[in-house]
């Protein structure tokens, strides 16, 4: 037989003993039906297939059991009929000896085909559909890597395919699977080639076959006579590795596939001979790839021959069938002796790429002798079919100079093992290359990942920066709005200040009310949210419903409290206003009395008329008259009493109560005006001067009024002093305190999150604290001032220290409160021991300060007593201190309650305290 095309040559190559004759003696026999098959989900590079059956499902032979995922992936079909017993990791034929996901089918012994039908005329089908048909049959390259065949068949779409090469070289020793296939099923082979040729439309088809398979060549020629195909059967000299894709291309066409490219880039597509039969069976008979020819050979094997084996058959079954002598078997090799892998576990199954099992004896497959030093003989270079420098690559791989290895085209190495075969020092060269390749791939992967991570990191930084800027802008916007609102408020305050003084107390109570209202609203919203969350949780049956319910109840209580507080506050102004107008009271009483009198008269008249006419309900009328008489008498009595009671007060001509109210109003006005003025000065407003003048005027007025009051008091009996000052201040302090707390919390949060704004916040907190202190000092001064007033005649030297002490007490109180609040804010059951300790310490300090203060007070009282001052005052002061203590205690006990609630109570307590002071003042001015 003469070649019609010129056979080229390739560099290097070796001639190992062929050992093919042993297994060609007997025809292909069909291996017995395995009792169970193990189908690895991944039998090739690419992604593992996804199982479409579940454990316990009955499957028929040829049924799809796992579906391809992605482009480089192949369908897997049941190779026997039976039951899926497991989908679990199982040892697979892989160099690592690792386990991988496998689908295990237990045979039912019937070997029942699923309904299947081939295509009557595949040439009528569009190419895409035909390729899809082949893809569905799970056909994968049966030569080496098991690359899904449909991917190669698609190459005609984007490449110009001139030459189709069918690889029948089968250059590795021992393997005869393709040889026997061609001998016995040449028609199938040619039928498959026809289908591929139909799809790729190549100009030239060549079958590359080594000259050590004369029978196969004859069979092919015989079959070709009956085939419409126009192809060249090219006989190549036997040389390992002529079956390598690139080597065969070089042999047949003289074209070298460039490094890093695929044959299709030079217009060539290669297919394995086994794959052609698989395609033929899939298209003509509709049979998916469920079996393949496997050579079982080696000196330990009883029957050295080829079997048609179901995919998934365990090696053990096959070895048993060919009566392998286990005691002689030293190594079991899957694939050829050059590129195959040694396996230990016989439970590993046959897969689509398993072409040979060699049960080698120790003489046949001796263990690799220990490697010796490289003697730089250069034989490896001479046999390398890829024209590389194996020795250099070995040095680089050994020294882990992977970059250099890469630059010496390590990735063009086909790992054929020719260099190792000829190495006189027995250096495992291929292992070194595999190791180096793996390391380089890993490095590349890491680099790729690192680049990806950097992109993500930079994107994140950018996002954070953007968010920060946005936040800052929003904050600025809010600040501007707040400033505008503040200015509007100031204007309003100025307007009010210039209007009548009678409106002041009401105006003063407005913000308080507003706050309470918003508190109530917030509580309501919280409650609603919690309710929603609870409903949600109940719907979904989530955990933690109980916790949610508890929270809801708590919120309900809080909401109710807030609303109650709001309602109380609304009612309060009315109550406060009544005692300030005793004059109107008298007037009212007078008018009441007059009305009662008129009513009585009318009723009497009616009664008289009724009696005259004799009709109507005389009795009722009589009763009415009697009632009215009583009322009238009562009213007149009340009026006269009130008049007589008031007479001593009114005689001097000035009503002290009225005066006091005036003073209070004025005082708050002055305060407000002063604040407004200060703010104006700070903001550099031009109205500041005017404001200053206004403040002066108001102060003058206040002084005048106070003077008046003093005179009135001097002449009249008693009059309560102004309390507005201290109360207002105290309220201010409370507000400040909450602000400080909030700021501190925010600051802490900021510090925790490591925000750069923490420093600024800290400064802000400091400022707020300073403000608070000033306010507290002020309060203390005022309190001290009132005390001083009370003890105006007593020794003044004691006051200073008392003042200081009181201040300390108040500071302690605030600190304690703060700590308690912190504690209250902690979730229940998660008490911070450090905080508890702090609170205890603070309380002790507070108590100590209180005690000191009390002692000082007592001292002062004694001093006062010496000078003839009433001891009662002392008692009152003590009571006041006690009130403060109880207040703190109450705050402690109600730490769970809403913050606002506590504040409110404290406000009330402070008022009570101030009133007490007042009464003292009253007594002393008596």
Partner 1 sequence: MSAVLIAVLVLLGLGLVFGILLGYSSIRFKVEGNPLVDQVDSLLPQTQCGQCGHPGCRPYAEAIVNNDEAINKCPPGGQGTIEALADLLDVEAIPLDAEHGEEQIKKVAYIREDECIGCTKCIQACPVDAILGAAKQMHTVIVSECTGCDLCVEPCPVDCIDMLPIETTLNSWQWPVPKSGVELIATDRNPGIALEADR
Annotated binding site: 374, 377, 380, 384, 413, 416, 419, 423
The window from 184-192, 432-440, 484-492, 620-628 that contacts partner 1 (CB under 8 A) reads: 432-440
Could you tell me the smallest distance in angstroms from the CB atom of residue 64 to partner 1? 22
Interface residue with partner 1, options 8, 159, 330, 434 (CB under 8 A)? 434
Which range binds partner 1 by CB under 8 A, 442-450, 474-482, 830-838, 842-850? 442-450
* 92 near partner 1, rule: CB under 8 A: yes
Residue 431 or 551: which CB sits closer to partner 1? Answer: 431
- The answer to whether 833 touches 813, Cβ cutoff 8 Å, is no
Q: What is the DSSP string of 456-521?
A: HHHHHHHHHHHHHHHHHHHHHHHHHHHHHHHHHHHHHHHHHHHS-GGGHHHHHHHHHHHHHHHHHH
Residue 440 or 522: the one with the smaller Cβ distance to partner 1 is 440
Asked if 535 interacts with partner 1 (CB under 8 A), we say: no
Q: Which member of 144, 267, 428, 582 binds partner 1 (CB under 8 A)? A: 428
CA dist., res. 657 & res. 586, Å (int): 14
Residue 100 or 912 having the CB closest to partner 1? 100
Q: Which is nearer to partner 1, 696 or 759 (CB)?
A: 759
CB of 460 to partner 1, least distance (A): 5
Residue (201 or 454) nearer to partner 1, CB = 454
Contact between 552 and 559 (Cβ < 8 Å): no
State how beta strands 58-59 and 29-30 pair: unpaired
What is d(CA 218, CA 222) in angstroms, rounded to the nearest whole number? 6
CB of 458 to partner 1, least distance (A): 8
Nearer to partner 1, 323 or 445 (CB): 445
- Is residue 584 within 8 Å of residue 629, measured between CB atoms? no
Which strand (E) or helix (H) includes residue 204? Answer: strand 204-210
Rounding to the nearest 10 degrees, give the CA dihedral for residues 168, 171, 172, 176.
40
**Binding of partner 1 by 70 (CB under 8 A):** no
Q: Which of 21, 407, 442, 831 binds partner 1 (CB under 8 A)?
A: 442
CB of 397 to partner 1, least distance (A): 9
- The SS3 assignment for 40 reads strand
Work out which of 239, 281, 321, 437 binds partner 1, going by CB under 8 A: 437
451 interacts with partner 1 by CB under 8 A: yes
SS3 (DSSP) at 140? strand
Measured at the CA of 855, the angle between CA 849 and CA 857, to 5 degrees, comes to: 105
Q: Restricting to residues 729-758, name those near partner 1 by CB under 8 A.
A: 753
Angle between helices 582-613 and 618-650 (to 10 degrees): 160
890 binds partner 1 (CB under 8 A): no
Nearer to partner 1, 71 or 514 (CB): 71
- By the 8 A CB rule, do 903 and 734 touch? yes
If the CB atoms of residues 126 and 367 are measured against partner 1, the closer one turns out to be: 367
User: Which helix (H) or strand (E) is 167 found in, with range?
Assistant: strand 163-167
Q: Which residues are annotated as a binding site for [4Fe-4S] cluster?
A: 374, 377, 380, 384, 413, 416, 419, 423
CB 509 within 8 A of CB 572: yes
Verify binding: residue 395, partner 1, rule CB under 8 A: no
Residue 393 CB, shortest distance to partner 1, in Å, is: 13
Judged by DSSP in three states, 97 sits in coil
Interface residues for partner 1 in 356-375 (CB under 8 A)? 366-367, 369-373
The Cα 306–Cα 26 span in angstroms is 8
Among 95-103, 311-319, 773-781, 783-791, the segment contacting partner 1 (CB under 8 A): 95-103
Nearest 5°: CA angle at 204, between 199 and 205? 70
Smallest distance, Å, CB 441 to partner 1?
A: 8
Q: What is the DSSP string of 710-745?
A: HHHHHHSS--PPP-HHHHHHHHHHHHHHHHHHHHHH
Q: Residue 307 or 433: which CB sits closer to partner 1?
A: 433
Cβ 242 vs Cβ 208: under 8 Å: yes
Q: Please pick, from the candidates 432, 566, 639, 677, the single residue that binds partner 1 as defined by CB under 8 A.
A: 432
450 lies in the site for partner 1, by CB under 8 A:
yes
x-or-dash pattern for partner 1, window 453-472, by CB under 8 A? xx-xx-xx------------
Residues 6 or more apart whose Cβ sits within 8 Å of residue 898: 519, 523, 558, 561, 562
Site for partner 1, rule CB under 8 A:
42, 45, 92, 94-96, 98, 100, 366-367, 369-373, 398, 426, 428, 431-432, 434-435, 437-439, 441-443, 446, 449-454, 456-457, 459-460, 753
């Amino acid at each position: 037989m003469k070649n019609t095309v010129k056979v080229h040559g390739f560099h290097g190559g070796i001639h190992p003993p062929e050992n093919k004759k042993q297994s060609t003696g007997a025809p292909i026999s069909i291996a017995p039906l395995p009792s169970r098959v193990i189908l690895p989900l991944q039998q090739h590079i690419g992604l593992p297939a996804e199982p479409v059956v579940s454990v316990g499902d009955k499957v028929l032979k040829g049924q799809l059991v796992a579906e391809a995922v992605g482009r480089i992936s192949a369908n897997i079909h049941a190779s026997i009929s039976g039951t899926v017993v497991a989908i679990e990791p199982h040892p697979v034929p892989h160099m690592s000896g690792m386990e991988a996901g496998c689908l295990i089918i237990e045979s039912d012994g019937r070997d029942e085909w699923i309904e299947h039908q081939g295509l009557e005329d595949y040439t009528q089908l569009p190419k895409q559909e035909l390729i899809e048909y082949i893809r569905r049959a799970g056909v994968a390259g049966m030569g080496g890597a098991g690359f899904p065949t449909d991917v190669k068949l698609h190459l005609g779409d984007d490449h110009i395919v001139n030459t189709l090469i069918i690889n029948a070289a089968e250059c590795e020793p021992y393997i005869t699977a393709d040889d026997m296939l061609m001998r016995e099923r040449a028609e199938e082979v040619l039928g498959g080639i026809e289908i591929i040729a139909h799809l790729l439309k190549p100009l030239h088809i060549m079958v590359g076959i080594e000259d050590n398979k004369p029978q196969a060549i004859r069979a092919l020629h015989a079959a070709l006579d009956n085939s419409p195909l126009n192809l060249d059967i090219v006989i190549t000299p036997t040389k390992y590795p002529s079956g390598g894709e690139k080597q065969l291309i070089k042999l047949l066409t003289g074209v070298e596939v460039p490094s890093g490219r695929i044959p299709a880039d030079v217009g060539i597509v290669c297919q394995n001979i086994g794959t052609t039969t698989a395609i033929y069976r899939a298209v003509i008979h509709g049979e998916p790839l469920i079996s393949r020819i496997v050579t079982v050979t080696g000196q330990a094997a009883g029957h050295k021959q080829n079997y048609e084996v179901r995919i998934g058959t365990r090696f053990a079954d096959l070895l048993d069938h060919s009566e392998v002598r286990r005691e002689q078997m030293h190594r079991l090799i899957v694939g050829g002796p050059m590129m195959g892998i040694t396996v230990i576990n016989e439970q590993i199954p046959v897969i689509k790429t398993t072409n040979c099992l060699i049960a080698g004896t120790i003489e046949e497959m001796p263990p690799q002798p220990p490697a010796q030093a490289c003697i730089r003989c250069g034989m490896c270079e001479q046999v390398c079919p890829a024209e590389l420098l194996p020795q250099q690559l070995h040095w680089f791989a050994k020294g882990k100079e992977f970059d250099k290895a890469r630059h010496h085209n390590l990735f063009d190495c086909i790992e054929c093992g020719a260099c190792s075969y000829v190495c006189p020092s027995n250096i495992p060269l291929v292992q070194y290359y595999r190791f180096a390749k793996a390391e380089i791939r890993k490095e590349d992967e890491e680099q790729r990942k690192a680049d990806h991570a950097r992109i993500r990191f930079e994107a994140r930084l950018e996002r954070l920066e953007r968010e920060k800027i946005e936040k800052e802008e929003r904050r600025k916007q809010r600040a501007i709005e707040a400033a505008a609102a503040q200015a509007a408020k100031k204007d309003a305050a100025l307007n009010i200040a210039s209007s009548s003084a009678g409106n002041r107390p009401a105006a003063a109570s407005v913000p308080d009310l507003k706050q309470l209202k918003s508190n109530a609203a917030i509580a309501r919203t919280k409650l609603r949210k919690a309710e929603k969350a609870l409903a949600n949780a109940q719907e979904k049956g989530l955990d933690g419903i109980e916790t949610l319910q508890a929270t809801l109840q708590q919120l309900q209580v809080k909401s109710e409290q807030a609303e109650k507080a709001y309602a109380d506050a609304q009612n309060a102004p009315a109550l406060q206003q009544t005692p300030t107008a005793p004059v109107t009271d008298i007037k009212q009483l007078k008018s009441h009395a007059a009305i009662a009198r008129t009513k009585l008269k009318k009723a009497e008249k009616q009664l008289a008329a009724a009696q005259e006419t004799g009709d109507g309900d005389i009795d009722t009328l009589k009763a009415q008259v009697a009632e009215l008489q009583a009322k009238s008498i009562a009213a007149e009595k009340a009026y006269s009493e009130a008049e007589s009671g008031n007479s001593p007060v009114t005689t001097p001509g000035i009503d002290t109560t009225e005066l006091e109210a005036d003073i209070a109003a004025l005082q708050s006005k002055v305060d407000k005006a002063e604040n407004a003025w200060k703010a104006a000065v700070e903001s550099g407003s031009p109205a500041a001067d005017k404001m200053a003048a206004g403040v002066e005027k108001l102060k003058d007025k206040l002084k005048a009024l106070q003077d008046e009051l003093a005179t009135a008091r001097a002449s009249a009996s008693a009059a309560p002093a102004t309390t507005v000052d201290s109360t207002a201040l105290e309220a201010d302090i409370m507000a400040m305190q909450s602000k400080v707390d909030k700021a501190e919390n925010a600051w802490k949060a900021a510090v925790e999150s490591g925000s750069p704004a923490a420093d600024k916040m800290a400064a802000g907190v400091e400022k707020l604290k300073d403000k608070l202190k000033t306010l507290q000092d002020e309060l203390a001064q005022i309190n001290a001032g009132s005390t001083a007033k009370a003890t105006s005649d007593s020794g003044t030297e004691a006051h200073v220290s008392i003042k200081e002490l009181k201040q300390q007490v108040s500071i302690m109180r605030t600190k304690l409160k703060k700590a308690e609040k912190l504690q209250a804010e902690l979730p229940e059951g998660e008490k911070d021991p450090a905080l508890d300790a702090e609170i205890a310490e603070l309380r002790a300090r507070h108590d100590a300060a209180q005690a000191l203060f009390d002692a000082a007070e007592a001292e002062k009282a004694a001093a006062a007593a010496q000078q003839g001052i009433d001891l009662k005052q002392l008692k009152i002061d003590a009571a006041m201190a006690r009130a403060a203590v109880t207040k703190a205690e109450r705050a402690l006990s109600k730490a769970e309650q809403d913050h606002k609630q506590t504040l409110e109570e404290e406000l009330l307590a402070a008022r009570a305290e101030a009133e007490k002071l007042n009464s003292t003042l009253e007594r002393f001015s008596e």
